[in-house]
Structure 1
Amino acid sequence: MAGNTEPLSPRAKLAVTAGKAAAAVSRAAGRGSGSVIGGKVALRLDPDLLARLAQHLDVVLVSATNGKTTTTRLIAEALRAAGPVVSNALGANMPAGITSALAGGSDAKFGVIEVDEKYLAGVARDVTPKAIALLNLSRDQLDRAAETRMLAEKWREGLAGSKAVIVANADDPLVVWAASSSQQVVWVAAGQAWKDDAWSCPSCGGVMQRPGDDWFCGQCGFRRPTPTWALTGDHVLDPHGSAWPIHLQLPGRANKANATSSAAVAAVFGVPPQVALERMYQVQAVAGRYDVVSFLGRDLRLLLAKNPAGWLETFSLIDPPPTPVVLSVNARGADGTDTSWLWDVDYTQLAGHPIFVIGDRKLDLAVRLEVAGLDFRVCETLDEAVQSAPPGRIEVIANYTAFQDVRRRVGN
């Protein structure tokens, strides 16, 4: 529990030390940050370590299909106005990665933790959070994650009775259904561009009515709650009716929505919206996302899109035609091996852009683009794609492991 500064037991200290050693070995071997293997080793030695590491922290958990890494970063920046923060900023968001992150934050006051959707309820039980941010739920990794309605049900059951303040997106019916079992909910009008996973009522299965920005079920009466925080244009509207300008270097409406939810979370911890939003301006990129890098004499902007909702948001960010676009899709374990989601993405929005296709599943993507009636070229490597592209900054859009491949190649 926050405020309880009971020192770690000898066993817990041993687990932390062993975990850090395992992580160091992994890094030395060039196998990434080592946070996951380090956390696994530590939890094997002390299964209750996560709870022990969180006991002195005021914790906020962030979960969603899209935007959780960025929102975690924005909340962490905002809360630094009130004290030291420990966070899993690189996105290792399952219990092992979270444990590794917290093990490095013995002097912190706040823990800002991104959590994979499947693990939210279990992590919430372990760390007794003060706040939980729920941003959205949409189809993702169809072979690994549960169907969205089942995930919402899992959240709903897992958060029932939680003493945490739930900061939830009022515009996503699945999130509202999940949060409605909780005692304290702060509703945020953060918007929902992707609606294809929320046409049926999560409560009764009836058809959802969506007049304008509102939504309700005509059968059971389940409806959009009244928000107390809202994104309006370039401003955050707080519960007192004050409008605060959003200061971001990150592009797009989705990030303004992330900032709005982040400001609502910061307020739970006593950080005023003006202070929170000003501090968010410091964030230029998040784990390489939105970075502009120089490669083979060209400027490349790196954009991550992992699922249909993410691709829809990303298309709204890119420079207009004839800006060249490189698309890269893999289907490795971390991506989900099922690429049928490609058929849910409206690629016709890329009409007029010179398109170059790379990645493990470039042929799957090529078939999808062929059906969409788009002109494109399949390339073997990023180098070939960049060298074939016409002049101008190149937009590179990739799913998870493809994005990591691109970052390694460009030295980012």
Structure 2
Amino acid sequence: MAGNTEPLSPRAKLAVTAGKAAAAVSRAAGRGSGSVIGGKVALRLDPDLLARLARHLDVVLVSATNGKTTTTRLIAEALRANGGVVSNALGANMPAGITSALAGGSDAKYGVIEVDEKYLAGVAGDVGPKAIALLNLSRDQLDRAAETRMLAEKWREGLSGSKAVIIANADDPLVVWAASSSPNVVWVAAGQEWKDDAWSCPSCGGVLQRPGDDWFCGDCGFRRPTPTWALNGDHVLDPHGAAWPIHLQLPGRANKANATTSAAVAAAFGVPPLTALQRMYAVTAVAGRYDVVSYQGRDIRLLLAKNPAGWLETFSLIDPPPTPVILAVNARGADGTDTSWLWDVDYARLAGHPICVIGDRRLDLAVRLEVANVDFQVYDSAQEAVRNCPPGRIEAIANYTAFQDLRRVVGN
């Protein structure tokens, strides 16, 4: 429980010190924040360090295919109303990065931790979370994460009998199936724009029926649970039926859904919805996402989209034509090396926008746009693409490593 500040063992202290030193060396060498290498070194010296560091914290874990970094940030802001928070705010979401984050939070009350979907069950076993937020599951990095139902099954097995409060999206059948093995679930109607990974019943394999916002399996009876929290337009509806206005500086319906889940999580820790939602207004960008950067006389808005569901949500955010759009796609290790997902994205939604294509896999994307009958130009660099756009606003949409490349170029 929070407040148990039992000191770390000499071995654990050595591991923390060595990890911080490794991280500092990595930063000095210009290799990023150093959180991953620092965590790896620390865990090598003390394999139980993650559990030791979490012992005095009330921990929230956040996992999903999309939205987990933003939701983690929103929850952290809300819980700061009640006490100090330590969080892996930059998104290093595997055990090494999580260990590095927690090593810096000895005085915190709460740990708000984003967790990669594959590692959720293992991390939950280590840290004994008080709450777990499950937002969505959809296809992503097929070469690494495999099929979505397999991930849902890992969640279901790993969370079975968990003592944590599970705050789960009632509109995603895969999430509902995964969470249903837990005895204490708070259901949130957060919506599901992308449905192409949830047409078959995860319980029996039958075809799901989707009348309106509802869903159910006609074969086995598996169905959408009744939510107690809901996103309703620009408001969060709480379990008592009260409507609380959402005021965010982050754009789009998806972020309102993230705020709704975050309010439900905060309430599990005693933070009222009004307080939680007011505090979320302070978040203007998340690890560079949604930032608007001035570069070469243009105002470039940086948007991250890593998979078909993410691209679908992002297309709904961008300014209307004729605003130019830069699309950047890589396929490095952190992105997943399989680019077949490009064929699942409805790029016809970009019709009317001047489109510039960049990134390591720009030719893969060019073929996809050609088939979609969308006009585009391919450029060898971000600098060249920006130069060929008129002064004013540019929307830049990139997947993970392409997004980091773009941030380095434009100085964000």
Normalised-by-shorter TM-score class: over 0.9
Contact 1:209 / 1:218 at 8 angstroms: preserved in 2? yes
**1:259-274 matched pairs, under 5 angstroms:** 259-274=259-274
Local SS of the residue matching 2:42 = helix
| Structure 2: distance between partners of 1:378 and 1:327 | 10
Contact 1:324 / 1:392 at 8 angstroms: preserved in 2? no
| Structure 2: distance between partners of 1:240 and 1:365 | 48
- Name the amino acid aligned to 2:330: N
| Structure 2: distance between partners of 1:2 and 1:211 | 44
Contact 2:3 / 2:109 at 8 angstroms: preserved in 1? no
**1:277-356 matched pairs, under 5 angstroms:** 277-356=277-356
Deviation at 1:96, TM superposition (A): 0.2
2:224 corresponds in structure 1 to 224
Deviation at 1:297, TM superposition (A): 1.0
Deviation at 1:80, TM superposition (A): 0.2
1:388 corresponds in structure 2 to 388
1:59 corresponds in structure 2 to 59
Deviation at 1:6, TM superposition (A): 1.4
| Structure 1: distance between partners of 2:233 and 2:67 | 19
- Name the amino acid aligned to 1:143: D
2:8 corresponds in structure 1 to 8
| Structure 1: distance between partners of 2:2 and 2:106 | 13
| Structure 1: distance between partners of 2:340 and 2:252 | 27
Deviation at 1:247, TM superposition (A): 1.1
Deviation at 1:75, TM superposition (A): 0.1
Local SS of the residue matching 1:144 = helix
| Structure 2: distance between partners of 1:261 and 1:95 | 24
| Structure 2: distance between partners of 1:382 and 1:289 | 17
| Structure 2: distance between partners of 1:382 and 1:47 | 42
Local SS of the residue matching 1:393 = strand
2:37 corresponds in structure 1 to 37
2:258 corresponds in structure 1 to 258
Contact 2:297 / 2:391 at 8 angstroms: preserved in 1? no
1:235 is the counterpart of 2:208 = no
1:202 is the counterpart of 2:167 = no
- Name the amino acid aligned to 1:267: A
1:49 corresponds in structure 2 to 49
| Structure 2: distance between partners of 1:6 and 1:289 | 38
Contact 1:342 / 1:365 at 8 angstroms: preserved in 2? yes
- Name the amino acid aligned to 1:48: D
1:173 is the counterpart of 2:173 = yes
Range 84-93 or range 381-390, more displaced: 381-390
Contact 2:26 / 2:32 at 8 angstroms: preserved in 1? yes
Local SS of the residue matching 2:97 = helix
- Name the amino acid aligned to 2:245: P
**1:356-395 matched pairs, under 5 angstroms:** 356-395=356-395
| Identical-residue share of aligned pairs (%) | 89
Local SS of the residue matching 2:145 = coil
- Name the amino acid aligned to 2:238: D
1:133 corresponds in structure 2 to 133
| Structure 2: distance between partners of 1:161 and 1:142 | 29
Local SS of the residue matching 1:19 = helix
| Structure 2: distance between partners of 1:381 and 1:151 | 36
2:145 corresponds in structure 1 to 145
| Structure 2: distance between partners of 1:36 and 1:231 | 35
TM-superposition CA deviations, 1:142-191 (whole Å, max 9, x none): 10002100000000000001000000000000000000000100000000
Deviation at 1:411, TM superposition (A): 1.1
| Structure 2: distance between partners of 1:31 and 1:376 | 34
2:111 corresponds in structure 1 to 111
Moved over 6 A (4+): none
TM-superposition CA deviations, 1:10-36 (whole Å, max 9, x none): 000000000000000000000000000
Unaligned runs of 5+ in 1: none
- Name the amino acid aligned to 2:268: V
Range 384-393 or range 181-190, more displaced: 384-393
Contact 1:2 / 1:54 at 8 angstroms: preserved in 2? no
TM-superposition CA deviations, 1:220-264 (whole Å, max 9, x none): 000000000000000000000000000100000000000000000
- Name the amino acid aligned to 2:42: A
| Structure 2: distance between partners of 1:328 and 1:109 | 40
| Structure 1: distance between partners of 2:354 and 2:374 | 9
- Name the amino acid aligned to 1:216: F
Contact 1:75 / 1:112 at 8 angstroms: preserved in 2? yes
| Structure 2: distance between partners of 1:56 and 1:371 | 55
Deviation at 1:4, TM superposition (A): 2.8
- Name the amino acid aligned to 2:196: D
Deviation at 1:74, TM superposition (A): 0.1
TM-superposition CA deviations, 1:7-66 (whole Å, max 9, x none): 100000000000000000000000000000000000000000000000000000000000
Contact 2:78 / 2:279 at 8 angstroms: preserved in 1? yes
TM-superposition CA deviations, 1:339-374 (whole Å, max 9, x none): 000000000000000000000000000000000001
Alignment length, in residue pairs? 412
Cα RMSD for the two superposed structures: 0.6
Contact 2:63 / 2:135 at 8 angstroms: preserved in 1? yes
